Structure 1
Amino acid sequence: MHLTITQDSDPQIIRVDEGRIDSAVAIQFKDAVRSRVSPDASRVVLDLGEVDFIDSSGLGAIVAAMKALSKDQRLDLAALNPMVDKVFRLTRMDTIFVIHESVDAAKSDGDR
């Protein structure tokens, strides 16, 4: 699972450099996100712009990564493509996460 930290300060931006988050990579994804989150970041934005497909295992891995954050940290999502966005909305996960249209919007919207 390849992730790139594109911004280390608040918010910390973690870009997923994979096309799929599914059962084949869900555990690796969860562990990779957990290991890359800065303990100093109060907000972490997961850039999903490269992700074309996510299944229930991928959703579970994102939830697990969120739950692994400290109580003072928040996980937001950004740049979901239409198919991934549809999965989040159909499963009502859009009520759990703050979803931003772009990484730039997430950077400027820290007060939500």
Structure 2
Amino acid sequence: MNMSSEIAEDLQIIKILEKRIDAAAAIQFKDRVRELTAEQVTPVVLDLSEVDFVDSSGLGAIVATMKFLGSERPLHLAGLTPIVAKVFALTRMERVFKIFQSPVDAVKSYEAKRA
């Protein structure tokens, strides 16, 4: 699964460079995120701005990632497209994750906490 990773203001931002997180991609998604986060200790923001579709398996993979990171490394989401945002709203997962409009907004939020 194609992803990029960068560190910005004590956040690891992982951009998902795929259109779908579904049953066919869920295991690859989890494995790739684990690879990218293995050497880091910062909270993680998943940038989903390129993702047009998430099914129940994809949602489960995102939740599994949150559990893998644990409470010491919160997982946040950013850039949800309208269809993906609707999935999170219908499943009430927007109550589980802190969701930002964009990764830049997540960075600004962390900057404000440090100030």
TM-score (norm 2): 0.90
| Preserved contact between residue 16 and residue 50 of structure 1 (Cα < 8 Å) | yes
Higher deviation after alignment, 3-12 or 27-36: 3-12
Shift of 1:9: 5.5
Task: List structure 1 runs of 4+ shifted beyond 2 angstroms.
Answer: 6-9
Residue in 2 that maps onto 1:72: 72
After superposition, the CA RMSD in angstroms is 1.3
Amino acid at match of 1:57: S
Instruction: Give the gaps of 5 or more residues in structure 2.
Output: none
Higher deviation after alignment, 81-90 or 32-41: 32-41
| Preserved contact between residue 53 and residue 83 of structure 1 (Cα < 8 Å) | yes
Distance in 1, matches of 2:79 and 2:71, equals: 25
Please state if 1:51 is matched with 2:48: no
State how many pairs are aligned.
110
Amino acid at match of 1:76: H
Shift of 1:103: 1.0
Distance in 1, matches of 2:9 and 2:28, equals: 24
Instruction: Give the gaps of 5 or more residues in structure 1.
Output: none
Percentage identity across paired residues of the two chains: 52
